[in-house]
Chains A and B, each alone.
Chain A
Amino acid sequence: MRRLQTPIYFVSPTPYNILGLDQWVGPFEYISYFDSFDSHHPHVFVPSHEAQPEFASFEAVNTYLLSHKEVTDRIHARGGGKALFVMFEEETEELAGELGLEIALPPRELREHIDSKITTTHLANEAGIESAPNVLSRAGSYKELLQLAKKGKLGTDLVVQTPYGDSGRTTFFISDEVGWNEHVEKFVGEDLKIMRRIEHLPGTLEACATRHGTLVGPIQTDITGFEELTPYRGGWCGNDIFPNVFTEAIRKRIRTMARKLGDTLYANGYRGVFCLDFLVENDTGEVYLGEINPRISGASPLTNLITSKYGGVPLFLFHLLEFLDVDWELDLKRVQKRWEEYDEWSQLVLKQTEDVVELITQAPPSGLWRMGDDGRVEHLSPVTTWHTVGHDDEAFYLRVYGNGDYRYKGADLGVIVSRGRMQTDDRRLTDRARRWADGITSLFAGVPPEQAPVVPEPLYTKWF
């Protein structure tokens, strides 16, 4: 991989998902929107732009990047290559084509198809996998919802999901009519997945569907909904990764599910990495399929960290092999075996919780940090990857918004990757997690946004 000639570009708001991969792959470059590393990272290119224009979506950021003259000049100078995205839209595809970039991902339509929670359930059935007990249907009223639930023996304490979108926004807990009415406009006219609410532990993993079978990355638990970290109820705040998660039997069930699903996806034309969210029911230890994210994801960082550090090779390399037009062999069992022993690691996603808008005047830099006994954190070194985190009192921080950007409720303030766990077995945030989150976020400073600067306008507003 290091001898690769084809330039590979990861085009994304930040290098977050596959940070560190440039150590493994030859001409690899991150094209990012946010300058997380203040120009330190030798393989990150950030085109110049006005501070923080308003993007409609994640995909729109990628379209913006590939439309920017500095990016297109750079890609043209190096003569095309391959592109990777977390998410992309039709226009991003067109632009990649115009630039002579081949997208090293499954086709957009296939990804979109699989992204639907309805398709997921069908795929699971095809793969012989258990989804959480559910009914797929449409409901025009709460009464209809209850009828459907009754048919599926789901009871009245329900979880309703709409097909597309981030789980945090599309999952609704409905135990009475009030709950239904609160979001009724989102339900009526949509295909719904109606489920029995089960007490469970959520988890995730990244797997890679290849011609030689499905490689399964290490199992992660989800950290969600903590008010110290996110203003969104049920919002994703990070993951823990440790070998003795759940029980041996449950781990086996999870891996089997991932393998079956990966093989089914491959049979349906999907190649490469995907993220699998699952639920482990508290009482029974049953493992249910939650959701498939057919893309590079938030599960990628810890997966690649563990598989490279302890297993010798990051999982993502196998994804690249699928798209590099080379013949390759794999002893799948042997590779999997190398990913069974590792230490505890975690990632915390920090979102601004206060409802306050500020122009940032000070922000902690990305890099290696250490926490003292008093809970204060100090910046040790501007490293550009989390692989160098050594002691338990160290962590890697990746910044998003910096000086001159705005922060507001829900803004992503960054990610912390460290050794050890951030969540206890009974799903409480550890003190350590709180201190890291606090330590970093307290280093942001800002001022209230200015009122409108007075502009000599050549035309009266009323003309528009």
Chain B
Amino acid sequence: MSTEGIRDRAPGFHEATVTFRSIVEEQPGDRLKDLFDVAWPAYRRWFLRDGELARPSYARCLRALRTYVPELVPVYEKLVGTVGGGDLEARFLSLWEPTPFFSACSIAAVPGADRGIVRNYDYVPALCETTLLASQLAGRRTLAMSDCLWGVLDGVNEDGLAVALAFGGRRVVGRGFAITLLLRYLLEMCATVEQAIEAARIVPVNLAYNVVVADAEGDAAFLQIAPDHEPVLSRDVLFAGNRQGKTEWAEHAVMTETVAREEAIAAALVSGPGREELERAFLSEPIYRPHLRHTWGTVYTASYSCRDRTVRLLWPDESWELSLAAPYEEERTRRMVMTMPPVLERTFEPPHTPDVIFA
């Protein structure tokens, strides 16, 4: 990952260097391979966290891709080949029924005809790729903050469709893809909010997530996605924290202070702010969460313009704008103070294969 040596640190505060980078690679190649090689050891541990058999087999993953997102299969296979073609890698990259993980985040559509999305990505910095990927994987050019190499946390495509996600604050786990694959699919396959809504109805997602989409025609929508119901659509309320309606998971809500953030976003939207004004709100507490006080602090703020197909990565003291029309590669490092969560001891169970091997 981008954060040096953070993995072995004891719980508590640590200062670390986090590298944000932009990568330009149209099709899977050396750049993505290099990124994968660095990230894989940690991803592999996460993938195997609950045991190899807890994750679906390669055959199942491929079947799911072919069933729900067939247009992505060619680039998926190319990506798998690029990183070495192994069984675990292929299963991991399919993003089908991944090891569940929960995060936080705030998202909002910029009001008015000149649409955009502003979002805070809140998580443990050590576990973020902090990579902006400019590519053309399945036909459309896209610019997106990535996760698991080709999954999307937030992004925009050449038609001006912008997307962003925030965890939905429910513990339900079901059969489906990681939300980041759905967002990748939306950017690759959709030009408008209408198309994105249709696609979201078809592609199953394993966890509860809030998604905001906005397009260059001025349309915007907020979708509550979950494995146990059809996407719930709103065209009036166009922002979210980490709840889908009432608080369901009290501990999580308290830890992430989602209610305070939601109220702050709502307040900021009352006056019909422009993009810059909304950005300022997102860079201020409580929407902005400093790492010194929160385990899941704000790693970055991203502000997308649908009309311009641009993204502004923002921190309280820095701003970095990139455009889909002219992407370039650069690295920026930031010193971040972060809190490591407490360690967990897991009980060990030696595996038992069935008693009958000779039969």
A458 contacts the other chain (CB 8 A): yes
Inter-subunit contact A53/B58 (CB<8 Å) = no
A105 contacts the other chain (CB 8 A): no
In chain B, positions 266-286 with a C-beta closer than 8 Å to chain A are: none
B85 contacts the other chain (CB 8 A): yes
Contacts of B344 in A (CB 8 A): 454-457, 460-461
Inter-subunit contact A456/B341 (CB<8 Å) = yes
Inter-subunit contact A56/B354 (CB<8 Å) = yes
Inter-subunit contact A69/B351 (CB<8 Å) = no
Inter-subunit contact B102/A48 (CB<8 Å) = no
- Say whether, besides A58-B359, A72-B58, A452 and B353 are in contact (CB < 8 Å): no
Stretch in contact with the other chain, from A118-126, A196-204, A406-414: A406-414
In chain B, positions 175-205 with a C-beta closer than 8 Å to chain A are: none
In chain B, positions 26-45 with a C-beta closer than 8 Å to chain A are: none
Closest beta carbon of chain B to A105's beta carbon, Å: 15
Contacts of B345 in A (CB 8 A): 452, 454-455
In the complex, A53→B88 CA distance in Å? 14
Stretch in contact with the other chain, from A59-67, A140-148, A260-268: A59-67
Inter-subunit contact B51/A16 (CB<8 Å) = no
Contacts of A423 in B (CB 8 A): none
Residue among B101, B251, B352 having the largest count of chain A Cβ atoms under 10 Å:
B352
User: Nearest B residue to A73 by beta-carbon distance?
Assistant: B85
Interface size for chain A: under 10, 10 to 19, 20 to 34, or 35 or more residues? 35 or more
A321 contacts the other chain (CB 8 A): no
In the complex, A50→B120 CA distance in Å? 37
Inter-subunit contact A13/B102 (CB<8 Å) = no
15 residue pairs A–B, Cβ–Cβ below 8 Å: A16-B357, A49-B87, A50-B48, A54-B51, A54-B351, A56-B354, A69-B86, A70-B87, A72-B58, A452-B347, A455-B345, A456-B7, A458-B124, A458-B341, A460-B344
In chain A, positions 405-464 with a C-beta closer than 8 Å to chain B are: 406, 408, 410-412, 415, 449-464
Inter-subunit contact B343/A459 (CB<8 Å) = no
Interface string of A60-91 (1 = CB under 8 A from B): 11011011111011000000000000110000
Inter-subunit contact B359/A52 (CB<8 Å) = no
Closest beta carbon of chain B to A183's beta carbon, Å: 18
**Contact residue among A16, A55, A453 (Cβ-Cβ distance under 8 Å from B353):** A55
Inter-subunit contact A408/B350 (CB<8 Å) = yes
Inter-subunit contact B57/A463 (CB<8 Å) = no
A130 contacts the other chain (CB 8 A): no
Inter-subunit contact B57/A68 (CB<8 Å) = yes
In the complex, A464→B99 CA distance in Å? 12
Determine the main DSSP class of B at the interface with A: loop
Contacts of B354 in A (CB 8 A): 55-58, 60-61
B18 contacts the other chain (CB 8 A): no
In chain B, positions 54-85 with a C-beta closer than 8 Å to chain A are: 57-60, 85
Q: Besides the contacts A13-B357, A456-B340, what 11 more A-B pairs have beta carbons closer than 8 Å? A: A49-B52, A64-B57, A66-B59, A67-B60, A70-B87, A166-B356, A298-B359, A452-B345, A455-B346, A458-B126, A463-B102
Contacts of B171 in A (CB 8 A): 463-464
User: Nearest B residue to A275 by beta-carbon distance?
Assistant: B359
Residue among A50, A67, A359, A400 having the largest count of chain B Cβ atoms under 10 Å:
A67
Contacts of B264 in A (CB 8 A): none
Closest beta carbon of chain A to B148's beta carbon, Å: 15
User: Nearest B residue to A14 by beta-carbon distance?
Assistant: B357
- Say whether, besides A13-B357, A68-B58, A406 and B343 are in contact (CB < 8 Å): no
Contacts of B60 in A (CB 8 A): 67
Interface size for chain B: under 10, 10 to 19, 20 to 34, or 35 or more residues? 35 or more
Contacts of A384 in B (CB 8 A): none
Interface string of A392-410 (1 = CB under 8 A from B): 0000000010000010101
Contacts of A411 in B (CB 8 A): 353
User: Nearest A residue to B44 by beta-carbon distance?
Assistant: A50
In the complex, A411→B90 CA distance in Å? 31
Inter-subunit contact B53/A47 (CB<8 Å) = no
- Say whether, besides A449-B348, A457-B341, A297 and B359 are in contact (CB < 8 Å): yes
A357 contacts the other chain (CB 8 A): yes
Contacts of B356 in A (CB 8 A): 58, 166, 412
B342 contacts the other chain (CB 8 A): yes
Interface string of A199-218 (1 = CB under 8 A from B): 00000000000000000000
Inter-subunit contact B51/A53 (CB<8 Å) = yes
Interface string of A273-301 (1 = CB under 8 A from B): 00000000000000000000000011000
Contacts of A73 in B (CB 8 A): 85
**Contact residue among A54, A69, A412, A457 (Cβ-Cβ distance under 8 Å from B58):** A69
In the complex, A164→B53 CA distance in Å? 26
In the complex, A124→B59 CA distance in Å? 41
Residue among B127, B171, B357 having the largest count of chain A Cβ atoms under 10 Å:
B357
Closest beta carbon of chain B to A93's beta carbon, Å: 13
Closest beta carbon of chain A to B132's beta carbon, Å: 22
Inter-subunit contact B57/A456 (CB<8 Å) = no
In the complex, A207→B226 CA distance in Å? 55
Contacts of A408 in B (CB 8 A): 350, 352
Inter-subunit contact B87/A450 (CB<8 Å) = no
A157 contacts the other chain (CB 8 A): no
In chain B, positions 311-359 with a C-beta closer than 8 Å to chain A are: 340-348, 350-359
**Minimum-distance CB pairs A-B, first 8:** A67-B57, A457-B344, A67-B59, A69-B87, A412-B357, A69-B58, A406-B350, A54-B351
Inter-subunit contact B359/A166 (CB<8 Å) = yes
- Say whether, besides A69-B86, A456-B7, A54 and B101 are in contact (CB < 8 Å): no
In the complex, A400→B355 CA distance in Å? 12
Inter-subunit contact B348/A53 (CB<8 Å) = no
In the complex, A61→B126 CA distance in Å? 36
Contacts of B353 in A (CB 8 A): 13, 52, 54-55, 61, 411
Contacts of B8 in A (CB 8 A): 456
Contacts of A58 in B (CB 8 A): 354, 356-357, 359
Closest beta carbon of chain B to A131's beta carbon, Å: 22
A38 contacts the other chain (CB 8 A): no
- Say whether, besides A70-B87, A454-B345, A463-B251, A53 and B359 are in contact (CB < 8 Å): no
Inter-subunit contact A54/B352 (CB<8 Å) = yes
B252 contacts the other chain (CB 8 A): yes
In the complex, A359→B350 CA distance in Å? 9
Inter-subunit contact B342/A357 (CB<8 Å) = no
Inter-subunit contact A69/B341 (CB<8 Å) = no
Inter-subunit contact B53/A16 (CB<8 Å) = no
Inter-subunit contact A460/B342 (CB<8 Å) = yes
In chain A, positions 308-353 with a C-beta closer than 8 Å to chain B are: 349
Residue among A52, A63, A463 having the largest count of chain B Cβ atoms under 10 Å:
A463
Contacts of A458 in B (CB 8 A): 101, 124, 126-127, 341
Inter-subunit contact A298/B51 (CB<8 Å) = no
In the complex, A452→B49 CA distance in Å? 13
- Say whether, besides A454-B345, A457-B343, A463-B102, A53 and B52 are in contact (CB < 8 Å): yes
**Contact residue among A14, A34, A54, A459 (Cβ-Cβ distance under 8 Å from B53):** A54
**Contact residue among A53, A450, A455, A460 (Cβ-Cβ distance under 8 Å from B351):** A53
- Say whether, besides A456-B341, A457-B344, A98 and B359 are in contact (CB < 8 Å): no
Residue among B9, B51, B348, B350 having the largest count of chain A Cβ atoms under 10 Å:
B350
In chain B, positions 96-136 with a C-beta closer than 8 Å to chain A are: 100-102, 124, 126-127
Inter-subunit contact A55/B53 (CB<8 Å) = yes
**Contact residue among A51, A452, A460 (Cβ-Cβ distance under 8 Å from B346):** A452
Contacts of B11 in A (CB 8 A): 456
Closest beta carbon of chain B to A223's beta carbon, Å: 12
